[in-house]
Chain A
Amino acid sequence: MTSPTDSGAPLDVRWSGVSVDLGGRQVVDDLDLLVEGGSWTTIIGPNGAGKTTLLRALSGTAPYRGTITIGPDEGVGLGRRERARRLAVVPQHPVIPPGLDVFDYALLGRSPHQGVRFAASEDDRRRTSAVLERLGLTDFAHRFVDSLSGGERQRVVVARALVQDAPVLVLDEPTSFLDLGHQMDVLELIAELRAERSLTVVCTLHDLTVVGQFADRIAVLDDGHLAEHGTPGEVLTPSVISRYWGVDVRTEIHDDTSVSVSVRRRER
């Protein structure tokens, strides 16, 4: 199959009429959403709204009805390998194999470009080194991933996704368990990389305070439905947040794609 990834052009991601049943519960219900090539869409919503499931359907790890297209083709027909060349996933809870060093872990990102034996070529190693260098991880190359701190570990998982060289980057809560400083580090890094590589970014986040500054579009998911969709300035308003999260916030709009949100304690 000729892959659209060869041209290096940004790829659209589109969910059309997508429903996901998990254990008899309709977690995602007839959802339509378009993420344009090269843009960043962040999906937010209360706990249990179906954010992670939506991403798992995209990455082919949750069965769904409807169609999801990655670039010009439907995801189901792509096969694991081609899908992995188009789509790199940073999972919410990555499995860190014990005793594997940073270089070898990041090198796993080359898997979809390798043959059935998954043997690494010199080119695979060069690309891995270049990514580690770019993310400032060169000095960590021979440390075991399971010995790193949370912030360092998250960089390493992002490194693996970048090594994959896919035009679409999917991140599920990439900042959970990180302090505010490290959250900003990771999100700023993704913003830089997206600009450098014209990546399409699909991301879920739960922290409303940072979400408004790192996306072109924000989609609010509520109980499996797409409740709101627009620019951060359109979506991150006190009334929307009050409706779906039940909290009072103050917003400060710097411009249409940069909104900070601060939360106030409720009167009981």
Chain B
Amino acid sequence: MIASRTPERSGSRLGAAWLLSGIGAVLVAGVVGVATGPVSIPIGQVIRELLDRLPLIAVDSSLSTTEQAIVWDIRAPRVVLGLLVGALLAGSGAAYQGVFRNPLADPYLLGIAAGAGLGATIAIVTELRDVFGFINPVPFAAFAGALLAVTAAGTLSVRRGRIGSPATLILAGVAVANFFTAIQTFVQQQNSETLQQVFAWILGRLSTAGWGEVRLLLPYAVLCSLGMLLSVGALDVLAVGDEEASTLGLNPRATRRVVLVVASLAAAAAVAVSGLIGFVGLVVPHAVRMMAGASHRRVLPLSLLFGGAFLALADVAARTIQAPAELPIGVITAFIGAPFFLLILRRQLTS
């Protein structure tokens, strides 16, 4: 046979250039995030201080003890948390979009955030804490709520095994979100003594973050990211629809179920530490697809990386625009994300 002329690499490969640019974005966002704040610390010293914290590296940053504390105990955990939450939201968005074959799917719009909020509220007011002892049950309850919400939205928009139009799923998600929020508000009103605790959790933002939150989220982040990365091949097969995927040897329902569980766990874990942040799961995967093509082998890993960078930078914006006051980070992401959503919706309607 004649030697093939086809370059045997294609969009389905991640590619070193893309991987490096994603890692670069994370590093830049991380350093900018740590360097920005009311106390100005030169970026060079910040970088040296961060390098100094790495194992086997000793660099003198010539920062005072207070400045070191600001960098390492106040800013760094917040930035790391932003990176993790952004990665989880964008990654789960990409996974939901693959599972539902719907570019409009986003953890926030699917009602997942509302479901997680309801689950967490119930856990807080019923003081589930005592039942489990040393394990914090709030994230688990949030996960159960998230799974319930996405199942409800998914079931409502699927009829006889056929997935409805992209808009149907989103409308179902909006209805589910409103329903869950109504129940959540009701439960919350009935238990006004826990109001403050619930509110703190629901609105919870990156500002209160310490290394404790990072430690809480990290296992979920690692596990979910791994799970989502393992499913990229199956998601590519699923892109040709259930029937064709089935003739290619894939079980579409089982695949969808597994990916939904992993993505919902990711979204719920993110919501559990950061509160409701919308549109990250929409904007980031979409931008990645426009740059690097639609194969999940690229979209998912790059969404994780760029999603982290995006949210860390959005947090910088939230901290600086009205400094010393802080904007809720969800305001920033919605400000960018909502127009984006309309843009994608318009494109969907014309095609």
* Interface residues, chain A, with chain B CB atoms under 8 Å away: 56, 59-61, 80-81, 83-85, 87-89, 91, 94-101, 103-104, 107-109, 111-112, 114, 116-120, 122, 125-126, 128-130, 132-133, 138, 141-142, 164
Contacts and interface: CB of A to CB of B under 8 A. Distances in A.
Given A83-B249, A95-B241, A118-B234, A100 B294 contact: yes
A108 B246 contact: no
Contact of A126 (B8, B231, B251): B8
Interface string B242-273: 01101111110000000000000000000000
B247 A104 contact: no
A99 B347 CA distance: 14
A132 B295 CA distance: 19
When A and B form their complex, which 4 residue pairs have the shortest distance between CB atoms, in order from nearest?
A118-B233, A99-B294, A112-B249, A84-B249
Nearest to B248: A111
Contact of B10 (A98, A112, A141): A141
Contacts of B249: 80-81, 83-85, 111-112
B8 A98 contact: no
A116 B250 CA distance: 9
Interface of B: 1-2, 4-12, 101, 230-231, 233-234, 236-237, 239-241, 243-244, 246-251, 289, 293-295
Nearest to B290: A99
A119 B234 CA distance: 9
B7 A141 contact: yes
A107 B12 contact: yes
Given A97-B294, A104-B11, A133 B2 contact: yes
Contact of B294 (A59, A98, A107): A98
Given A104-B11, A104-B295, A138-B5, A97 B250 contact: no
Contacts of A112: 248-249
A118 to B, nearest CB: 3
Contacts of B5: 133, 138
B289 A99 contact: yes
